[in-house]
Structure 1
Amino acid sequence: MDQTQFKQLFDQFFERLRNYIFYRSGDPELATDIAQETFMRIWEKGIDPDKGKEKALLFKIAGDIFVSNYRKQQVALRFADSIIQTNSSLSTDDQISYNELKHRYEKALSGMNEMQRVVFLMSRNDGLKYQEIASNLDISVKAVEKRMSKALEYLDKQLVHE
């Protein structure tokens, strides 16, 4: 798909796609972000939709992104709730230990090799798979595996065996 065809596809379907996500989410900013991400994926992956099937493909991709985003939000909310519940039920000693561990973790992250930290955070915070990380960083999956292994080894040394 060349630039002209992509622009025509964008102009023809962007508003409809954005409205579809808006109706599902009720959030205009999220709807715009997901619509833009949908078109970015089409462009980056060089997908050339079959004539007459463009709309179905775009709405499928946007729906998948929306569901993935929703799931990530739910996991984050459950985690935040568990932290709040855990923190409220912790004794003073446990709270001090928790804060100390959190500080050591943040310090360990800041002292980690940048390449390892990027891979670690993309995996743990963004929930990306090794293949996705490799694609985003333009490196091999083996390189991602090695960097992740080194990052975990470093954190183990800094947090557990300190």
Structure 2
Amino acid sequence: MSKSLHQDICDKIRFSKLYEKYAQTLSNILYYKYGERLNPSDKVQEAFIKLWENCAKIKPETAKSFLYTTANNMMLNEVKHQKVVLKHQKIKPKDYTNESPEFILRKKEFLKRFENVLSQLKEEERVAFLLNKVDGKTHQEVANILNITKKVAEHRIYAAFKKLKDALEELN
């Protein structure tokens, strides 16, 4: 025999014959063992893909065992995954807080007031402030974005901050 045994499975014709010989039987076994819900035919396809990817490493006499073991392991992994999914579906999201209704109301009022004061700032102060505090830009980056000097950027940010602090201080 001039060809090595490893090349037998990598041959497309021989691989097709392996598929024809084992695919339906393997699919039926997985179906009987695990049911339809876990898509046994998909696992069979994936097992054959793994066989093809590793055809040079697998001897023809161990191909059947490789397919059955691989497909079964894939089904077991799917069963484990479904258990995790079910476990997380049972956990109900937290629909309560430890915050008192008074705190929640004060928080909403503060946010309304904050947005109102923010909207009353000069546009240049508001933009510089938001770039710095919300987007996390440095003073130099704000200056570069707005095409102004670093000192002007600092002045606008601090002016906006002071106006916000003064207007919101009474809520504390």
Structure with a larger share of its residues in helix: 1
Larger Rg: 2
So what's the TM-score if we normalise by structure 1?
0.49
So what's the TM-score if we normalise by structure 2?
0.46
